[in-house]
Amino acid sequence: MKKLFIKSYGCQMNVYDAGRMADALAPEGFIETADPADADVVILNTCHIREKAAEKVYSELGRVRRIKQERAGAGRDTKVVVAGCVAQAEGAEILRRAPVVDVVVGPQSYHRLPALMKRAERERGVVDTEFPVEDKFDHLPLAPRPKLRARGVSAFLTIQEGCDKFCTFCVVPYTRGAEVSRPVAKVVAEAERLAEAGVREITVIGQNVNAYHGEGPDGATWSLGRLLRRLAEVPCVARLRYTTSHPRDMDDDLIAAHAELPALMPYLHLPVQAGSDRILEAMNRRHTADDYRRIVERVRSARPDIALSSDFIVGFPGETEEDFAETLRLVEEVGFASAFSFKYSPRPGTPGAELDGQVPEEVKAERLQRLQALLEEQRQAFNRGTVGRTVDVLLEKPGRHPGQLAGKTPYLQAVQIEGGGRAIGDLVPVRILRAGSNSLFGEPAGGPALTAAA
Ligand code: SAH
Ligand code: SF4
Ligand code: F3S
């Protein structure tokens, strides 16, 4: 058996892709290891979204180079693969900066990985960053059940990839290419396979997941709302989620699905980026802050308890103190259960990087700190609001201490419970006793537990 080590950075798409790369290499006799020193093939699955993310790859490649040398000393060969969005954005440049690398493969070419690995036996430095015409998903095998990568209780399923929106700060349209939706039948078949392998919660993912427009079995184009209704029928799947959505694509059908489908969890990650219309326009988001407020109102009238999450960028070129105050005002009005926030990072090749009025680093840092303090306050308040309530918790893994199990609430909060009589994969009503800074603590609320077999 040959050993494979994969490390993923960046978004859920990369987590999903790592699983599919492992599946693609399984027929070649590869099994995964958690120890890079033990690996015949090391794959770094990279992210290009901000400068820091992209630079991580090169420091990691320094460590990989030392491992490769040590292994070579013991007569063992190591092949090093750079995949993901840095691979797509930098291509052959990676080989120049880091000669330890054997293969550079972009996200649209993973189905060619076994062939590229064979080529790397003969040639030095193999690069594939094309956008091939064949659908990579058709050529990426999902490994047969016994070999299916252990995906646990909760799994991602890519239904859509790429982006046509071209926000002026963002590299994704360049690294992931044009928007493509997978056909409904393929998505449903994959969901059924995951359910057979013990998955109880599926998060359908895409860079613009609510722009989904896949071909249905009836020949019509299906929206995300319609797809979710179909996925809710897959046996044994207790929970559905989707991410990441764009405000422009929050249509009535999707909002109605939140009112109709008990399996669709009351949690919505809906990035807004900024609260100033001037900045939103410069970002090419093509919605206003009030559009966002109206969407939130509609979603909340469909599902009053929905927890909201978002992404924010501070210090986009031209952002004044007044613009930033608009962002704080939006956050105060909407109220978020959780959020990600970042300093603007100019990315080569994007229009934002060329704009006048780049904001000084210390201004960005100070704004980020103020925004994060507010968001953190809201997150803690949201978590405290769950104390005393009984919520369903899907148990996903062993807890921090022996005898404990860890899981998630419908609102994606982490919970620790005393395990007694419960198992991973169970969906258990839990009374929340207290809120720690990163986790809730609770006890099973008595009554018959819904077991994994139910
Ligand atoms: N497709 C998603 C998310 C894309 S990347 C969407 O449309 O929202 C995830 C987040 O990274 C973005 O929402 C944005 O907040 C942040 N991001 C993207 N490019 C960035 C940049 N150049 N600098 C700082 N943050 C960035
Ligand atoms: Fe990037 Fe904007 Fe596309 Fe999201 S919608 S992936 S932020 S370009
Ligand atoms: Fe990063 Fe690419 Fe995802 S740039 S955020 S890994 S789409």
Burial class (CB in 10 A: 0-12, 13-18, 19+), 66: exposed
Mean pLDDT for back-to-back runs of 10 residues, the chain (454 residues): 95 93 92 95 97 93 96 95 97 95 95 94 91 73 54 91 96 95 96 94 96 97 98 96 97 97 98 98 98 98 98 98 98 98 97 97 98 98 97 95 94 93 92 95 72 43
- Which string of DSSP letters, residue by residue, matches 120-174? HHHSS-EEE----SS-HHHHSPPPPGGGS----SEEEEE-EE--S---TT--HHH
Q: Of 81, 98, 128, which marks where a domain is finished?
A: 128
Q: Of 365, 386, 407, which marks where a domain is finished?
A: 386
What distance in Å separates the CA atoms of residue 437 and residue 439, rounded to the nearest whole number?
6
Instruction: Phi first, then psi: give them for residue 218, nearest 5 degrees.
Output: -85, 5
pLDDT at 419: 80
Of 9, 13, 269, best ligand 3 pocket probe by most atoms within 8 Å of the beta carbon: 13
What is the CATH classification number for the domain harbouring 259?
Answer: 3.30.750.210
Both 379 and 395 in one domain: the answer is no
pLDDT at 143: 60
pLDDT at 136: 73
pLDDT at 421: 85
Q: Give the ligand 3 atom nearest the CA of 176.
A: 7
Burial class (CB in 10 A: 0-12, 13-18, 19+), 8: buried
Q: Which domain holds residue 19?
A: 2-128
What distance in Å separates the CA atoms of residue 98 and residue 227, rounded to the nearest whole number?
43
C-alpha 419 – ligand 1 centre gap (Å)? 38
User: Does residue 135 form part of some domain?
Assistant: no
pLDDT at 135: 72
User: Does residue 248 form part of some domain?
Assistant: yes
User: Does residue 137 form part of some domain?
Assistant: no
What is the CATH classification number for the domain harbouring 342?
Answer: 3.30.750.200
User: Does residue 108 form part of some domain?
Assistant: yes
C-alpha 49 – ligand 1 centre gap (Å)? 7
Both 176 and 99 in one domain: the answer is no
Both 237 and 332 in one domain: the answer is no
User: Does residue 434 form part of some domain?
Assistant: yes
- Measured from the alpha carbon of residue 176, the closest ligand is 3
Both 399 and 381 in one domain: the answer is no
User: Does residue 409 form part of some domain?
Assistant: yes
Q: Give the ligand 3 atom nearest the CA of 48.
A: 4
pLDDT tens digits, residue range 280-313? 999 999 999 999 999 999 999 999 999 999 999 9
What is the CATH classification number for the domain harbouring 110?
Answer: 3.40.50.12160
Angle at which helices 321-334 and 361-386 cross, to 10°: 10
DSSP-assigned beta bridge partners for residue 440: 415, 435
pTM of the model: 0.93
Both 373 and 394 in one domain: the answer is no
Both 322 and 402 in one domain: the answer is no
Both 59 and 103 in one domain: the answer is yes
Both 180 and 91 in one domain: the answer is no
What distance in Å separates the CA atoms of residue 327 and residue 364, rounded to the nearest whole number?
13
Structure tokens belonging to residue 173: 């349209």
pLDDT at 145: 47
Q: Which residues line ligand 1 (CB under 6 A)?
A: 49-50, 169-170, 172, 207-208, 244, 246, 271, 273, 311, 313, 342, 344-345, 347
C-alpha 393 – ligand 2 centre gap (Å)? 32
pLDDT tens digits, residue range 258-276? 999 999 999 999 999 999 9
How many CA atoms does the CB half-sphere of 324 hold within 13 Å? 24
What is the CATH classification number for the domain harbouring 395?
Answer: 2.40.50.140
User: Does residue 270 form part of some domain?
Assistant: no
Long-range CB contacts (< 8 A, 24+ apart) of 363-366?
363/315, 364/314, 364/315
Both 108 and 173 in one domain: the answer is no
How many domains does the chain contain in total? 4
pLDDT at 146: 42
Both 74 and 146 in one domain: the answer is no
Q: Which residues line ligand 2 (CB under 6 A)?
A: 163, 165-167, 170, 172-173, 207-208, 246
User: Does residue 20 form part of some domain?
Assistant: yes
Both 203 and 313 in one domain: the answer is no
Both 80 and 180 in one domain: the answer is no
pLDDT at 202: 97
